[in-house]
Amino acid sequence: MQIFLVGGAVRDQLLERTVTEKDWVVVGATPKDLLKQGFKQVGKDFPVFLHPESGDEYALARTERKSGKGYYGFIIHADENVTLEQDLLRRDLTINAIAMDENGTLTDPYNGQADIKAKKLRHISPAFREDPLRVLRVARFAARYSHLGFTIADETLEFMREIANSGELAELSAERVWKETYRALGEKSPQVYFEVLRSCNSLEQWFPELAALWGVPNPPKWHPEVDTGVHTMMVLEQAAQLSDDPVTRFAALCHDLGKGITPAEDLPGHPGHEKSGVPLVRSLCRRLKTPTEYEQLAKIACEFHLHLHRFEELKAKTVVKLLEKSDAFRKPARFAQFLQVCEADYRGRAGFEKRDYPQAALMKQALDACNSIKPQTLIARGFTGKKLGDAIHSERVKKVKLICQA
């Protein structure tokens, strides 16, 4: 029995990146061999075991053969006769198919080290086309490593287009698509994930509301980059610089979905795109089965982002209405996320990337001023029920008016 460290742990060591988890492959062993040593088997479909002390995953060397559609359409074969090279062959990219033994000696049958040096994301074999999830995985790796100069090999990108054109992306479950998307949102350059999917005709299948934005013009006066799809990617890039939070980044991605359905006669303007985009956000989130907090923040960002941009033009009543409708008083942390989305939207334009965004600080001042109001004082003055709510609202307007007039 031989044990090898494989996959991302080896790849990231070679890239001198922090290794966050370790996966191992066991060659020349049976399930009984591992069970005797105290390993715990997980799942019935894959020969994967948990180490009794570290909890790391140890998988028996295996091969896979396509037997149907989608991510689960494979026949798995694992026994003590499967070689390390056969196991590595079933993996997606060459950089993920390098193994290391206990002495640090590398086994690299598919030239992963050369592709690391060349900064290429390259498939291992034509079997790459058999798993539609790999389209999303490669796009995610591009989002992770693009800042290091990595690009996708042309022939791999062509395979990704073939998968998209085959219709097999539709066979993926929403949970699988969201898992890859969620992980991509947390990468260094999340916008690259969506740009790659678009470049291989894969965006329309699961993200049609987003795909519709490319080719839709904005007024050059406010958007020197003009194209709404380009603007959206710039906003996501800015959001990634402002926050590590994937919820905030997803809201930035969704803030302008309404522009994708603007009537042609209104272009390049987009009257009412904020409210018209809310149902599109809901549709996208339901298709992907996103967690509730993603949909909630994305809808708030979609409907109210222009209000914040125009803070200095707003009346105090409108500012308070925004705070109330966005539930800022009950959920201040979410409102802080909203402010970051708005800042990313402002900066996500050609030539605006380094500009200050004082509107966020002003809105934060308005929220703090409103929070300084003590309802107990009003209750002591005899206000109750609806009259108490109206009195609190009036006091908020008075406080905010001082900020708007400053």
Which pLDDT score, from 0 to 100, does residue 76 have? 76
Q: Which of 358, 357, 339, 361 is nearest to 349 (CA)?
A: 357
Distance CA 303, CA 276 (A): 8
Q: pTM for this one? A: 0.91
pLDDT in tens, the chain (406 residues): 899 999 999 999 999 999 888 889 999 998 889 999 999 998 666 789 999 988 888 999 988 776 556 555 557 777 888 999 999 998 999 999 999 999 999 999 999 999 999 999 999 998 898 899 999 999 999 999 999 999 999 999 999 999 999 999 999 999 999 999 999 999 999 999 999 999 999 999 999 999 999 999 999 999 999 999 999 999 999 999 999 999 999 999 999 999 999 999 999 999 999 999 999 999 999 999 999 999 999 999 999 999 999 998 999 999 999 999 999 999 999 999 999 999 999 999 999 999 999 999 999 999 999 999 998 889 998 889 999 989 999 999 999 999 887 6
Asked whether 202 and 181 are in contact (CB, 8 A), the reply is no
Which pLDDT score, from 0 to 100, does residue 72 have? 58
CB neighbours of residue 267 within 10 Å: 13
Angstrom CA distances, 35 to 24, 41, 223, stand at 16, 8, 62
pLDDT tens per residue across span 120-146: 999 999 889 889 999 999 999 999 999
Distance CA 169, CA 147 (A): 27
Cα dihedral angle (74, 3, 48, 14), rounded to 10 degrees? Answer: -70
Asked whether 167 and 210 are in contact (CB, 8 A), the reply is no
Which pLDDT score, from 0 to 100, does residue 63 have? 85
Distance CA 383, CA 399 (A): 19
Name the packing angle between helices 316-325 and 292-309 (round to 10°).
170
Cis peptide before 246 (omega within 30 of 0): no
Domains and CATH numbers, the chain: 1-112 (3.30.460.10)
Distance CA 362, CA 368 (A): 10
